[in-house]
Amino acid sequence: MTLEPFGARLRHAMDTRGPLCVGIDPHASLLTSWGLNDDIAGLERFTRTVVEALADRVAVLKPQSAFFERFGSRGIAVLETAVEEARAAGALVLMDAKRGDIGSTMGAYAATYLDKDSPLFSDAVTVSPYLGFGSLRPALDAAAVSGAGVFVLALTSNPEGAEVQRATAADGRSLAQLMLDHMAAENEGAAPLGSVGAVVGATLGDAGVNLAINGPLLAPGIGAQGATPADLPAVFGDAVGNVVPSVSRGVLRHGPDASGLREAAGRFADEVRSAVSGS
């Protein structure tokens, strides 16, 4: 059976568990800080600890695929298990893969992450639109069939992104705004929230674009990159209620103790609630 649309499932998870996404980013320095070796055993221990500590309480877990891919097939096997166990515990899984291609290749990426029969099926996946928004059609269509979501890069938190994302399209809009307008069209009429989200960095100050896309806004940059929950209203304005702040190192550095991870995630979730509500 097709799942309830991702936007509706995400809205419910944010309202009940708090609007927070925690990244699972097992890079070498973080494994070392946990006292683990940078090998498949360390990867497996790290990933299992994060999933067991957080999957029953945070709205979204976001594994970064590259940190698993670097270990080859054994790393992908760890990722498959993490996705399955996180979803079984009630977390929505956002696969941070940032895939972008054309034609049958984009279709294959869509089948990998958005087909319910795939071992890597996730509730949503990140994609890059800068081969043209139309190149994402295989992923958008696959997500609609399975009830999954797609998060499209719009204004990213890395400073280099501006040279492309702030460039001007033929009609005078920035490329980022052009992509956001495409997302808004995809989400038109969806309730309570569309399933096509945008990635907009929390470190941007005033984003300078119209973020009213009727979809979720994934906001990386909280914690180690310098943004705080208190910055969210200034960046996202009236759309702040649809923001899913993403924290990785700000939570993960409190491991390997599970209680430390839980306390850090809970603290960020409380700070986000307070910032969004204005209390």
54-72 residue pLDDT tens: 999 999 999 999 999 999 9
**Residue 7's closest CA among 57, 54, 59, 65?**
59
Question: Against a cut of 0.95, is the pTM above it?
Answer: yes
Instruction: List Cβ neighbours of 189 (8 Å cut-off, separation of 6 or more).
Output: none
116 is known as an active-site residue:
no
**Residue 61's closest CA among 251, 193, 201, 276?**
251
Domain architecture of the chain: domains with CATH: 6-278 (3.20.20.70)
State the Cα–Cα distance between residues 5 and 233, nearest whole angstrom: 27
pLDDT at 279 over 70: no
pLDDT-based confidence at residue 225 (cuts at 50, 70, 90):
confident
State the Cα–Cα distance between residues 259 and 53, nearest whole angstrom: 7
Supply the pLDDT for residue 204: 85
pLDDT at 95 over 80: yes
Q: Once rounded to an integer, what is the mean pLDDT over residues 185-191? A: 98
Catalytic residue (choose from 27, 57, 98, 173):
98
Supply the pLDDT for residue 213: 98
Q: Once rounded to an integer, what is the mean pLDDT over residues 145-151? A: 98
User: What distance, in Å, lies between the first and last C-alpha atoms of the chain?
Assistant: 41
Q: Which residue's structure tokens are 């719009």?
A: 154
